[in-house]
Structure 1
Amino acid sequence: MLDLYSIPLKGDPLTLCGGNVGDAGTAESCALVTPIPGVDGAYAVGDTKREGQQVRFTERELLNLKDWLNNRFGGVAA
């Protein structure tokens, strides 16, 4: 099994913002998504509020998570 955490990331992450505006409108959430080099369909996902902390997933793991979220919460994950 490949250890996705052993592979150094390259390049800037894609930043996706929106959603959580917090109580005062100052806590916007941004997800950072970076493809993991050399592994098709594998990504590092982080949060701008927790810089340097990330989790890494294969595409299959992300799809399984999406399916689980849809089953658990009634189709909220696109």
Structure 2
Amino acid sequence: MRKRLTITGSTLRNRENEFKTRLASEIREKVWPVLENGSFKPVIYRQFPLHEAARAHELMESSGHIGKIVLVNSWD
């Protein structure tokens, strides 16, 4: 079941300010504490420096991974 989990995002551009304000408040109250205390951790399969983005993309297309493929800032 975990392999088929999808997290989806969307923009709030067309929503009213009241909705956006309420949503931000609920995220701050319910989601942020879970992220801060470390109980939610994404599965990172591999990290690539930004200049190796093509290699990261090849890995992603191969579907030979479980977890996230992350590009990291190669200036650090």
Q: TM over 0.5, yes or no?
A: no
Whichever structure has more helix as a proportion of its residues is 2
Choose between structure 1 and 2: higher strand proportion. Answer: 1
Give the greater-gyration-radius structure (CA): 2
TM-score (norm 2): 0.29
Higher RCO, 1 vs 2 (CA within 8 Å, ≥6 residues apart): 2
